[in-house]
Amino acid sequence: MGRSKGSGTIQRLALALSGTIAVSSVYAEPVQVRLGWENRFSDNVRLSESNEQSDIESRVNVGLSHHTDPGQCRSDLAADLGYGVYLDDTYDPETYVNLDWYGNCELADRLFWDVSNSTRDVIENSRSGATPDNTSRRNIFRTGPRYTFRLSQRDYLNLSAEYENTQYQDSDESDSEGVNGTAAWRHLFSQTLAGGLRFTAERTEYDTDEEITIETASVFFDKAFTTTHVSGSLGVTTLETDEDGDVRESDGLVGDIRIDREITDSASSYLEASHRITDDTSEYDFEFNGVTYDVEQRTAVEITSIRVGFLKQFADRSSINTSLVAYRSDEVETDIREDRISLDVSYRRPINVFLDFTAGSQLAYLTYSDDDSEDQLINLDVGLRYQWARDLSLRGEVGHNRRLSDSGGREYAENWVLVSIDYQLR
């Protein structure tokens, strides 16, 4: 794909800004560094239906986190980096990256420049197991300015523009770059209610020479109650696809709603539902067994999603965290449909001051209309975590993974054991 002449300039500006943010953050909160070493034994490391092969992966991990207080520039960084080798050389040495970084600087009064970067190891083909041969690294870089006009004491006009670049490493997925702009009028009806109008235009170019243009007009609201916060929008989207001069258009209603509720001092929940026509599906990822599953799209898709979460902390300091994710994606051009439902439950209970018991279960249900198949994924694990010293902890876990499918060659079962040590640098 021929990249626009301005993209290099934009990236150089973003790098310069990131350097400015880094310099301004030197005297802020120090970087937190976590060092770890883990060994994971698997009795079916290739996740194959037959001829199972066992192996041990030994991995060194580095965790980084950094946060600066609000000021002229701010930055938030969370990263987990790893390097693993297999004792019996089942796979080549692997690197692992899970990184989120966001930063901005106030260049002038109410004028900001934002920069963000997200890196994930994602599954290439969700019909196969989460092995090194079936993962790719996805990097999403975004940057651009935003400005707020104060029209009156109750009215504001927000303008923003953004450049986005998405790249996949060693994958058949299409790389892309694009720009988008947003204009939003926001009115404060009261101290707890706000709403307004928003218009967004997006243009994305893929390395397959396909261009997608999306325009959305919507109304939005934001309402705060004593223990509940509700926000949402409703609008219309028009999508245009241009592939070698073949232009196709589609449109439809879009909307979203999110409800956050503080049930008690020790319990909270959220519900989020949305319906969108988009070519950017990164916000519909879900994590399963430590790996990111994204939407397998070939072009723009129509997505309906629901997310529900519940967190409860008990008097004995134990806690339970539950989340449910369900979505349906329909490719606009091909009508290929994909359904996914994922349930994640984790439990933690302190046994004494130094020792914690942990347990988790994950269930996922996947369907594919192109081959009329259904798969179920199951992951169960239990473990113990021992706080050896203030900065040193030991962890041991045992688990079982299983995949059931009505399509031949996809099923597998795996038992695994993990032992790790972590040291927190101050």
Residues 22-74 have pLDDT tens digits of: 444 444 578 899 999 999 999 999 999 999 999 999 999 999 999 987 778 99
Structural domain includes residue 62: yes
Chain centre distance of CA 182: 22
Asked if 395 and 366 touch (Cβ cutoff 8 Å), the reply is no
Contacts with 206 (C-beta within 8 Å, 6 or more apart), sequence order: 1, 174, 175, 176, 212
3 state DSSP class of 166: strand
Q: pLDDT digit string (tens) for 328-359?
A: 988 877 778 889 999 999 999 999 999 999 99
Structural domain includes residue 277: yes
Structural domain includes residue 366: no
What the block records as the tokens of 93 is 């040495």
Tell me: pLDDT of 153 over 90: yes
The pTM of the full predicted model, rounded to 2 decimals, is: 0.87
Contacts with 133 (C-beta within 8 Å, 6 or more apart), sequence order: 91
Q: What is the pLDDT of residue 297?
A: 62
Structural domain includes residue 306: no
Across all residues in the chain, what is the average pLDDT?
A: 89
Separation of alpha carbons 380 and 359, rounded Å: 8
Q: pLDDT digit string (tens) for 208-255?
A: 888 999 999 999 999 999 999 999 999 999 999 888 888 888 899 999
**Ramachandran class of 14: left when φ > 0, alpha when ψ lies in -120 to 50, beta otherwise:** alpha
Q: Which of 288, 295, 331 is nearest to 173 (CA)?
A: 295
Separation of alpha carbons 300 and 7, rounded Å: 23
What the block records as the tokens of 426 is 């101050």
Structural domain includes residue 22: no
- DSSP assignment of 16-77 equals HHHHHHHHHTTTSSPPEEEEEEEEEEES-TT--SSS---EEEEEEEEEEEEE--SSSEEEEE
Asked if 54 and 41 touch (Cβ cutoff 8 Å), the reply is yes
Q: What is the pLDDT of residue 27?
A: 46
Q: Using 50, 70 and 90 to split pLDDT, how confident is the model at 407?
A: confident
Structural domain includes residue 12: no
- DSSP assignment of 263-323 equals EETTEEEEEEEEEEEES--GGG-EEETTEEE----SS-EEEEEEEEEEEEE-TTS-EEEEE
Q: What is the pLDDT of residue 124?
A: 85
Q: What is the pLDDT of residue 298?
A: 58
| Number of domains present in the structure of the chain | 1
Q: DSSP assignment, residue 151? A: -
Which CATH number belongs to the domain containing residue 87 in this structure? 2.40.160
Task: Tell me the β-bridge partners of 33.
Answer: 64, 425
Domain limits for position 249: 32-286+387-425
What the block records as the tokens of 388 is 């050896």
Structural domain includes residue 312: no
Structural domain includes residue 343: no
